[in-house]
Amino acid sequence: MLYKLLYHFHTEHIIFNVFRYITFRTGLAMLTSFLIVVLFGNWTIKKLRQVGAGEVIREDGPSEHKSKAGTPTMGGILLLVSILITTWLWAEVSNIYIWTVSLVFLGFGIIGLIDDVWKLKTRGKSHKGMTGKVKLLLQIFIGLSVLILMVRLNGYDFRLWTPFFKDINPDIGVWYLLFALVVILGASNAV
C-alpha cells in the first residue's frame, strides 16, 4: 500500500523513485517488522501470560526442558501479524503472488493457532494438540486451494523456471501443482 502511495510521487521528486526497487522496500519491510516485534513483543508476552497461555512440560521429557515451563505459547501470533502488516505495507499488492503467499501464510498460521489452543485446552490431560496427520491434511487443503485459485484467476503458466538457465523451462503441465504443493509443504514444515 505504501509502495503505491509513495512511488506515485516519483514524478514530483526523484527521492521517491527508490520505492520502485524491491531491495529498498525489503529493507524497509525488515525494519518495520523488527519495530513491530520490539514495540509489541513485551506486551504480547504479558497478555499471553495473563490468559495462561504457558507451555506445559511433560514429566517424562528431558530435564533441561523443565526450565521452559510457563514459557508463553502462541508467540507465532506476533510474528504472523508483524509479517502480514509489513508485507501489505511495502509489497506491490496488485501482484497475485503477494496474495498467494499471504493466504498460505495466514492459513498455516491459523492451523498453528488452533493447535496451540487445543494444547492449552487439554493441559494437564494429554498435552496434545492436533496430530501430525491432521495438520498435514489441513496444509494440503490450504495449499491446493490457493494454487487452484491462482490458476483460475491468473491463467497460470505451468513451465518450471530454473535459476541460472533462462532457456531451460520445461512445461510440466498439471504436475506443476503437485510440485508447487510439495515446495509449499516442505518450506513450511522444514522449520
Q: Is the dihedral of CA 116, 74, 191, 88 positive or negative?
A: positive
Per residue, the 3-state secondary structure of 36-67, as one string, reads: HHHHHHHHHHHHHHHCCCECCCCCCCCHHHHH
The residues near 113 (Cβ < 8 Å, ≥ 6 apart) are 74, 76, 77
Per-residue confidence band for 132, with pLDDT thresholds at 50, 70 and 90: confident
- Same domain? For 5 and 90 the reply is yes
More confident residue, 127 or 90: 90
- Do 63 and 144 lie in a common domain? no
Q: Do residue 41 and residue 124 come from a single domain?
A: no
Q: Which of 94, 120, 153 is the last residue of a domain?
A: 94
pLDDT for 139 = 95
DSSP H or E segment with residue 175 = helix 175-189
Cell triple for residue 27? Answer: 529493507
Q: Are residues 107 and 190 in the same domain?
A: yes
| Same-domain check for residues 103 and 90 | no
Reported as a single tens digit per residue, the pLDDT across 67-102 is 666 666 777 888 999 999 999 988 888 888 888 899
Boundary (domain end) residue, out of 94, 128, 155: 94
Q: What separation in angstroms does the CA of 95 have from each of 50, 62, 92, 98, 150?
A: 40, 47, 6, 6, 11
| 84 and 134 share one domain | no
Mean pLDDT of the region 23-43: 92
The tens digit of pLDDT for each residue in 145-173 reads 998 888 888 777 788 888 888 888 888 88
Both 76 and 12 in one domain: the answer is yes
The reply to whether 3 and 81 lie within a common domain is yes
The answer on 32 and 61 residing in a single domain is yes
- The set of residues, in sequence order, having a beta carbon less than 8 Å from that of 99 and lying 6+ positions away, is 93
Q: Do 6 and 35 sit in the same domain of this protein?
A: yes
CA 162 vs CA 101, 130, 156, 159: distances in Å: 20, 36, 17, 9
The more confident residue out of 61 and 34 is 34
The pTM (predicted TM-score) of the whole model is 0.77
What domain count does the chain have?
A: 2
- Do 81 and 141 belong together in one domain? no
Q: What residue numbers bound the domain in which 25 lies?
A: 1-94
Domain end (from 94, 124, 159)? 94
Q: Tell me, yes or no, whether 4 and 74 share the same domain.
A: yes
